[in-house]
Chains A and B, each alone.
Chain A
Amino acid sequence: MIFNFIGNYSLLLSLITSLSLLVIILINIKSLDDKLDYKIKNLIFFQFFFVLVSFLSLIILFIISEFSNLTVYNNSHTTKPLFYKISGTWGNHEGSLLLWLLILTFSIFLYFLFAKKRSNNEKFYTIIIQQIIIIGFSIFTIKTSNPFDLINPTPLNGLGLNPILQDPILAVHPPILYLGYVSTSIIFASSLASLMVSKVDNNWAKHIKNWVFFSWIFLTAGILLGSIWAYYELGWGGFWFWDPVENVSLMPWLSLTALIHCILVLEKRDTLKSWSIILSISTFTLSVCGTFLVRSGILNSVHTFANDPDRGLYILIFLFFLIFASIIIFFIYENKLKNTKVAFGILTKESSILMNNWFVMYFLAVILVGTIYPIFLEVISNHKISVGPPFFNKLIIPFLIPFLIFMSIGPNFNWIKNVKFKNKIPLIFFLILNIIIAFLILKNIGEAKLNLTLLLAASIYLFFTTFKDLIKKTKFKNYSQQISHFGFALLILSIVMNAVLSREITTNLKVGEEINFNDNKIKFENIEINDVKNYKKLTAFFTIQENSSNFLFKPEIRIYNQPVIITSEADIKTNIFMDRFLVINLIKEDYEYFNVRYQEKPLMIWIWLSVLLIIFGGLSNLLIKNEK
């Protein structure tokens, strides 16, 4: 009970501190000087400290199973392992909002520590904007989603955490994803502040670049973890499903990726200023938009975990307040931005970055339309539709081909000055050679379609050009970019080969039956039922005979007792060439027939490893910069 009290009042104190901060800066707005620094620093620290205390109190409430707390009662149970009791803190709407607040306050604290060289005006304007965001989320948390609401009389036990969330990867997925999402608020606040004080220049780019990389690294890692979890836990057997909630995480990522490249141009050439500001604004507003779509209940998805239109209305109003405010600020101050006039040619680094920025914006627009179009259509015409992979594949794949080609050749261009066309003729011949290789590979598989051939050719081309760049000995080596680009090339190549070579069979089998699939013989050997601490486990034993090799698969069906939920646990055998994936589902409760799905997914491990390489590239940029 005491921790409920501490947590609740710490949360209130943090709101009071935020309001005080805002008032103090606004009162001194005409004379913002170094004298304010100490006072502001203390208040920012206390604001972070209060939210931290509040968050730790909630963790303790979960650990001690304090069921007088409504959030703990709704999301925990005494039989739950300690690790999942702790991760249950952010595995629900209220706790995850407190985590949002914690990262918001932590971000501004870090910003203040590392922004000593920025002008007072820019620094304090950034703090004002960030405080408005913090106050908005604090009021939202306290008014509509207070994690310290009480329940009376105190129940003897809780309702338990959704079993599919009881997973080690999913336990760390939200904090990592949120670090990416929420830290973009600093990019948003700083870009608007620097716009207002006319300081959008290469120095600002140098300063904000760290934040852009920080957010991008965590967002990429968060998306990767979510994708791995969905692959093995939801039993769909793929790495991306174009689910609305996946899409809302991909949109800020795309915007952030475009921003990274713009910031690099701004840092080196002092141009693309407006574009950098627009991307900074869109990245954070897309993050808040994602929060609105996930938490309002406006979308139907396996991921949405809070269906409450009242909460949705609050986030909607706040989201559009941020959008309108940033549009107004942008159009008032945009004409003061002075781009250094740089006349760059068509075959230059700047052009290829700009071109690919437009492609990324196109991909973002397709995903945005595909995600929100069902909502628009339903409101306007009352028709319910769902937009799935065919829509995204048809609209994205054709444009992915020129995107990959630009990505391959762009890094080989010079800044400003056109490269001589005749110097790059070998690259064109190499591209033609790749088209022939891709055609021969696909013809051999029996999938020689034009778009697939070009996509495979472009991805092989990107793979070899980036690999060549990576191992080439040059004086000015940009390891960060080359590692990330090589990782991306590997990712696209793995995805294309995975899509082309994947095989699957879905059938109903009972114990003792077998079925032939390609060169494999799948036999359903036996089932075993055991009681585990908080669930009943049904293990099915399958043998798969492939030529002279035998594989034993043990997929499970788990029947959890609190809450009563049935989950399927896939059994996956991974090697460097492919994943063998087997999952079963109950048809009837007599355990006679089971629905069996067996998949062979080539190069799955390379999809995960390539994203790790992409992250490593970003990380090396951040760390090498800091060493300098």
Chain B
Amino acid sequence: MKNKLLGLLAILFFLFSFVIFFKGLDKPTIYTPELQKNISLTNFEAKEFFSDQKINSNELFTKSNFYLVNIWSS
């Protein structure tokens, strides 16, 4: 009886895993960042890489036509 129950539990567990893997095959593996809206940006000051000039984020983000690119790698 104990063995049958264990066997049944194992089969149920693997059935569940099968369904998850099956559904997982349809999921795209390409990383697409989430769209964030209406988030206020923190002010910061940084040194420009090539010219060593100091830049303030206020000067950069004066209008709404800019992109924030999330560079992601693994």
Contact = CB atoms under 8 A, between A and B. Distances in A.
Interface of A: 292, 296-300, 302, 307, 309, 312-313, 316, 320, 323-324, 327-328, 330-331, 334-335, 375-376, 378-380, 384, 386, 508, 593
Contact of A316 (B3, B7, B21, B50): B21
13 contacts: A298-B27, A309-B25, A309-B26, A312-B25, A313-B22, A316-B18, A316-B25, A331-B4, A375-B21, A378-B27, A379-B23, A379-B24, A384-B31
Q: Dominant SS at the A interface?
A: helix
Interface string B3-32: 110110011001000101111111101010
Contacts of A297: 25, 29
A288 to B, nearest CB: 12
A391 to B, nearest CB: 14
B25 A298 contact: yes
B31 A378 contact: no
A320 B50 CA distance: 56
B38 interface: no
B10 A379 contact: no
A501 B12 CA distance: 47
B27 A316 contact: no
Given A309-B25, A331-B4, A384-B31, A375 B18 contact: no
Contacts of B25: 296-298, 309, 312-313, 316
Contacts of B7: 327-328, 330-331
A380 B24 CA distance: 9
B70 interface: no
A5 B21 CA distance: 36
A324 B11 contact: yes
A292 B21 contact: yes
Nearest to A309: B25
B49 interface: yes
Given A327-B10, A327-B11, A316 B29 contact: no
B27 A331 contact: no
B6 A375 contact: no
Contacts of A386: 74
A334 B10 CA distance: 15
The 10 closest A-B pairs by CB, nearest first: A331-B7, A309-B25, A379-B23, A375-B24, A300-B29, A320-B18, A298-B24, A312-B25, A379-B20, A379-B24
B14 to A, nearest CB: 5
A331 B6 contact: yes
A420 B11 CA distance: 45
Contact of B20 (A302, A327, A334, A376): A376
Given A324-B11, A376-B24, A379-B24, 20 more contacts: A297-B29, A298-B21, A298-B25, A300-B29, A313-B22, A313-B25, A316-B22, A320-B14, A327-B7, A327-B11, A327-B14, A331-B3, A331-B4, A331-B6, A375-B24, A378-B24, A379-B20, A379-B27, A386-B74, A593-B49
B10 to A, nearest CB: 5
B26 A508 contact: no
Interface of B: 3-4, 6-7, 10-11, 14, 18, 20-27, 29, 31, 49-50, 74
A323 B31 contact: no
A298 B18 CA distance: 13
Given A331-B3, A331-B7, A375-B20, A299 B29 contact: yes
A298 B4 CA distance: 33
B3 A335 contact: yes
B49 to A, nearest CB: 7
Contacts of A324: 11, 14
Contacts of A298: 21, 24-25, 27, 29
B23 to A, nearest CB: 5
Contacts of B4: 331
B41 to A, nearest CB: 24
Contacts of B23: 379
A297 B3 CA distance: 36
A298 B25 CA distance: 6
Contacts of B6: 331
Contacts of B3: 331, 334-335
Contacts of A302: 74
A280 to B, nearest CB: 16
Contacts of B20: 375-376, 379-380
A529 B30 CA distance: 34
A300 B32 CA distance: 13
A402 B14 CA distance: 31
A380 B50 CA distance: 45
Contacts of A327: 7, 10-11, 14
A296 B14 CA distance: 18
Nearest to A304: B29
A330 B53 CA distance: 71
A334 B20 CA distance: 29
A380 B29 CA distance: 15
Contacts of A331: 3-4, 6-7
A299 B30 CA distance: 10
Contacts of B49: 508, 593
A255 to B, nearest CB: 16
A386 B72 CA distance: 12
A335 B24 CA distance: 36
**Interface-centre pick from B20, B31, B49 (highest chain A CB count, 10 A):** B20
Nearest to A323: B14
Contacts of B74: 300, 302, 386
A428 B61 CA distance: 65
